[in-house]
Structure 1
Amino acid sequence: MTIRWYFDFISPFAYLQRRRVRELARHHAIEYRPVLFAALLDRLDHKGPAEMPQKRRFTYRHVVWRARSAGIPLRFPPAHPFNPLAALRLCIAAGCTDESVDAIFDHLWRDGLRGDDAESLAPVAARLGLDAATAIADPEVKARLQRNYEAAVADGVFGVPTFALDGELYWGEDATAMFEDRLRDPAAFEAGEMARAGALPIGVERVRR
C-alpha cells in the first residue's frame, strides 16, 4: 500500500498537515508529490481561495486560528499568493526527503520568509547541500515536476493537500482525521451511508452563463 501525498508550498494548509504526515510516514509508505496547484486550477477552470477577496481574508484568518489551536508556529510570508515554482523544484532537486520538505515549509510558513526565487531560497538550498540556482534550473527537475502534475491529473486531484490511496482522494488539512480513520478501518468506507453517498446521483446541475 503506497500513499501519495500531493502538496504545494503555496498552501498553508499543507504546512499545517505536514506534522501529521510525518507521523503517518512512520508506519506507512508515503510518496511525496510536490505539484503546482495553479496548474490544477487552470485545468479545472477553478479560482483559488486567494482570488476571491472575502474568501481570501477568511481563509488567511482561518489558517492563523487553526495553527494557533494546534500549537503550530506560523507566520505568513511577506506576500501571498506567491510563485511556488522555485520551492517545488528545490524540493525535487533535494530528493523530496523529509529534511527538504520540512526545511522549505519552515522557511516559508514558520519563519515567514520569501521563497519565490533562487536568491530567497539560497539559505535553504545551502543547508540541503545544493546551489539553489543550479537546482531550480535543472531540466530533469522541471520534467519531474511535470510528471507529478500528470500523475495528479491521473489520480483526479483537484486541490492540495491531498492524500491519494486506492482510487480515493482525501482533500484538505481538515480531512486528515478522516484519512487516518480510513487507514485504521477501510471496511467502514465501503458500506452503508458512506458507500451510498459516494454513488449519489446528481439532482440538478447549475447552468453557467
Structure 2
Amino acid sequence: MSKTITYYMTPLSPWTYLGHARLVALAECKGAPVDIKPVDLGRVFSVSGGLPLAKRTPQRQAYRLLEMARVAAHLGLPMNVQPVFFPVPPDAAAKLIIAARTSLGADAALALAGAIMRALWAEEKNISDEDTLVQVADLLGYDGRMLMKSAQTAGVQEQLDKNTDEAIAANVFGAPWYVVDGEGFWGQDRLDFVERALG
C-alpha cells in the first residue's frame, strides 16, 4: 500500500510554489496520495518562533531574493521574486483550495493550488482578490463561483483552523512541510528525502 504525503502549505509561500510541481510529479511517480492541508502560517509562526518577512533582518531578506531567483532558474520555472501583489492576505486562496479538496478531491485541490501560486509568483495576479481566484479556478475547468461560495462557509474556515492546529501539533514551523510516516521534511529542497521516505 502506498504511503501518503501530508502536505502543509500556504499559497503565499514562494518555496511552496517552487516545490509544488515536483511534489505532484513525485507523488504520481510513486503512486502516493497527497493530503493537501493549507494552513494559517502566521499562527504557526506565532508559536514556533518564525518571523514574517518584514521583520527579518536585511541580510536574510536579501539572501531570500537571491536564493529564490537561483532555484527558479535551476528548475526552469517562471518567477518574479518581488511580485506586485505580495504580501497579501492568503486566507481566501487557502480556503478556496480547501473547498476544492472537499468537493472535487485531492487532485483538483493540488491543481488549483499550483495555479493560484503560479498566478501570484509568475503572472502578477492578486490572490487575495475573489474575482481573480474565481478566474483561476474557471481556467482549470472548475466552477469558480461555486467554489468561492463554498470557501466562504463556516465549515471551510473550521477546516483551515483544524489544519493549522494539526500543523502546530506536528511541530511544523514553515512551508512547505511534508510528512511521510510521521517524519517531517521542511522545504522544497527536501523532496529528495521525501522520495526516499516513500521507498
TM-score range, shorter chain: 0.7 to 0.9
Of 161, 166, 169, the match for 2:184:
169
Please give the alpha-carbon distance, in whole angstroms, between the structure 1 residues aligned to 2:53 and 2:189: 16
Shift of 1:177: 1.5
Give the greater-gyration-radius structure (CA): 1
Match of 2:96 in 1: 90
Look up the equivalent residue of 1:24 and give its one-letter code: L
Q: Contact 1:94–1:130 (CA<8 Å) still a contact in 2?
A: no
Please give the alpha-carbon distance, in whole angstroms, between the structure 2 residues aligned to 1:18 and 1:121: 18
Shift of 1:160: 0.7
Look up the equivalent residue of 1:146 and give its one-letter code: D
- What SS class does the counterpart of residue 94 from structure 1 fall into? helix
Structure 2 residue runs without a partner (length 5+)? none
Look up the equivalent residue of 1:113 and give its one-letter code: K
Shift of 1:37: 1.1
Matched, 1:38 2:38: no
RMSD: 1.9
C-alpha distance after superposition, 1:40-68 (max 9, x if no partner)? 00122421344214212221221111101
Of 69, 77, 90, the match for 2:74:
69
Shift of 1:153: 1.7
Match of 1:48 in 2: 52
Look up the equivalent residue of 1:90 and give its one-letter code: L
Please give the alpha-carbon distance, in whole angstroms, between the structure 2 residues aligned to 1:61 and 1:67: 10
Look up the equivalent residue of 2:88 and give its one-letter code: F
Report 1:1-209 matches (<5 A).
1-26=3-28, 27-54=31-58, 55-76=60-81, 77-95=83-101, 96=106, 97=108, 98-127=110-139, 128-131=142-145, 134-184=149-199
Shift of 1:112: 2.5
Please give the alpha-carbon distance, in whole angstroms, between the structure 1 residues aligned to 2:56 and 2:166: 28
Shift of 1:183: 2.5
Please give the alpha-carbon distance, in whole angstroms, between the structure 2 residues aligned to 1:136 and 1:99: 16
Q: Contact 2:10–2:90 (CA<8 Å) still a contact in 1?
A: yes
Q: Contact 2:130–2:148 (CA<8 Å) still a contact in 1?
A: yes
Please give the alpha-carbon distance, in whole angstroms, between the structure 1 residues aligned to 2:87 and 2:32: 32
Shift of 1:143: 1.1
- What SS class does the counterpart of residue 91 from structure 1 fall into? helix
Q: Which has the higher contact order (CA 8 A, sep 6+)?
A: 2
C-alpha distance after superposition, 1:89-119 (max 9, x if no partner)? 1111122523212221221122121111313
User: Is the deviation greater in 90-99 or in 64-73?
Assistant: 90-99
What TM-score results when the alignment is normalised by the length of structure 1? 0.80
**Identity %, equivalent residues:** 27
Moved segments of 4+, more than 6 Å: none
C-alpha distance after superposition, 1:122-148 (max 9, x if no partner)? 311333212165244221111111111
Q: CA 1:57 to 1:147, structure 2 compared with 1: closer, same or farther past 3 Å?
A: same
Look up the equivalent residue of 2:4 and give its one-letter code: T
